[in-house]
Amino acid sequence: MNYNVAIIGAGPAGIFAALEITKLKPEWNVVLIEKGERIEKRVCLLREGYEKCPNCKKCGLLCGWGGAGAFSDGKLTLTPDVGGHLDDYMAREKVEELIDYSDKLYLKFGATEEVFGTDMKIFRELEREAALAELKLVHSPVRHLGTERSLDVLKNMQDYLNERITIINNVSAQNLIVENGEVKGMTLDNGETVRAEYIIIAPGREGADWLTKEFAKNKIGMVNNAVDVGVRVELPAPVFEPLTDKLYESKLIYHSPTFGDEVRTFCMNPNGEVVQENYNGIATVNGHSYAEKTTNNTNFALLVSEKFTEPFKEPIQYGQHIASLANMLGGGILVQRFGDLLDGRRSTPERIKSSIITPTLTCATPGDLSLVIPYRQMTSIIEMLYALDKVCPGTASRYTLLYGIEVKFYSARVKLTDELETEGVKNLFTIGDGAGVTRGLIQASASGVYVARTICAR
């Protein structure tokens, strides 16, 4: 099979690369290879009501058309400051243009019109309040699709591309074919070979291990990224309304006084629910919110970033180890009331019941997070909760629920040129979360548009 361009992975990065190529070079032969199902066939059994993750051979949550973004909350954070490092490769104005362009494409395929957090007067007021509590509020306007709308938008993109390119599902890219420092194609796990002038690798975090091995074989350089470890906080929605009513999602950054570590809020879900996720057989916690279905609670993650220095080189294993410890003690996710944590005792089902908050993740085991989270991260999280309490009084209530562990693994960062071409291998481009250069939907999408333009210009 011979193509002008072959794309590996149908997450936002791969999809947006395909959309841009079909616009600029409609006559080209493009193939998109995705190891998971088409969007309408995707199922995550955990979300269908399974009590425990059945560890499917191909994770329905992360694999398939739409990638990790398919069942996501669909929050498009419209700023270069959040969700990736694209501004390490190009001028900030360029990233802004790419984000704006990608956002318009989401709109074209059916995204909701409303954007939260655009009123600068309100932002400045909140920024001041946050600064008084030693918190940095990052300006980050958000378009919120909601999980249901997100699926519709992705289905529209699939239908559109289906008529313009070749899409191969349920097949994985296996070995890259590199000759004299130039990529020529790849073999697939169904035994076939794909030849292409250009290859775009966009395998997400799901394909990061494959990518690392494949790149090691081809002597392509990679650098370790940080790992973020923390908890998901759940509290009554009115407590956070001073922020969520005005900004929907607020990105707050704090440097803990004791250790100076950076702690940040992440993935805020007003009236949302806490959910269990699975990473390589380890249960971790996350959160999302629906556009139409609401709860009485708001949740968000508090994450402490750890970047290790020599000789330690295994940030992902470090995060996995901490999450496994929570699984070992609780048989899955642990939940603890903030007051119980401060009192040095575990939470029990009775204590959780006699709270003013009803947990939205019912399968979490009441327990003691201080037996799991290292002192360094735990101290930083407690200090951040007190700082947040100054902006939204009630955050540091004894009833506030903390779920553990939330952990964000970032793929090792591929050594790339400013065009996101893989260093040392001509015509091979690596983008999105799998390349370690993005961490969110909009920047992943923007990275796809960017390389598509580069390839078409060549």
Ligand X SMILES: Cc1cc2nc3c(=O)[nH]c(=O)nc-3n(C[C@H](O)[C@H](O)[C@H](O)COP(=O)(O)OP(=O)(O)OC[C@H]3O[C@@H](n4cnc5c(N)ncnc54)[C@H](O)[C@@H]3O)c2cc1C
Site residues (vs ligand X, CB under 6 A)? 8-14, 33-36, 62-64, 67-69, 72-75, 77, 83, 172-173, 202-207, 210, 286, 432-434, 438-442, 444
Give the integer Cα–Cα distance in Å for 300 and 259: 22
Q: Which is nearer to ligand X, 341 or 407 (CB)?
A: 407
Helix pair 237-247, 120-132: axis angle to 10 deg: 140
Whole-number Cα distances in Å, 447 to 90, 101, 117: 11, 11, 24
- Nearest approach, Cβ of 199 to ligand X (angstroms)? 11
Query: How far apart are CB 53 and ligand X at their closest, in Å?
Result: 13
Distance separating alpha carbons of residues 57 and 196, to the nearest angstrom: 29
Whichever of 197 and 406 has its CB closer to ligand X, that residue is 406
Place of tokens 């279905």: 293
Minimum Å gap between C-beta 69 and ligand X is: 4
Distance (Å, whole) CA 223 – CA 429: 16
Nearer CB in complex with ligand X: 111/378? 111
Residue nearer to ligand X on the CB measure, 117 or 203? 203
Taking the C-alpha atoms of residue 347 and residue 121, their distance in angstroms, rounded to an integer, is 42
Q: Tell me if 71 sits within 8 A of 61, measured CB to CB.
A: yes
> Quick check: 400 and 409 in contact, CB under 8 A?
no
The DSSP output letter for 11 is S
Amino acid identity, residue 43? V
| DSSP single-letter state for residue 406 | E
Shortest distance in whole angstroms from residue 271 CB to ligand X: 15
| CA atoms of 283 and 51, how far apart (whole Å) | 11
Q: Between 133 and 171, name the residue whose CB sits nearer to ligand X.
A: 171
Distance CA 5, CA 458 (A): 12
Give the number of residues written for the chain: 458
Shortest approach of ligand X to residue 322 CB, angstroms? 18
**Residue number, 373 or 442, with CB nearest to ligand X:** 442
Q: Which is nearer to ligand X, 67 or 367 (CB)?
A: 67
Of 31, 62, 32, which is closest to residue 409 (Cα–Cα)? 62
Nearer to ligand X, 39 or 402 (CB): 39
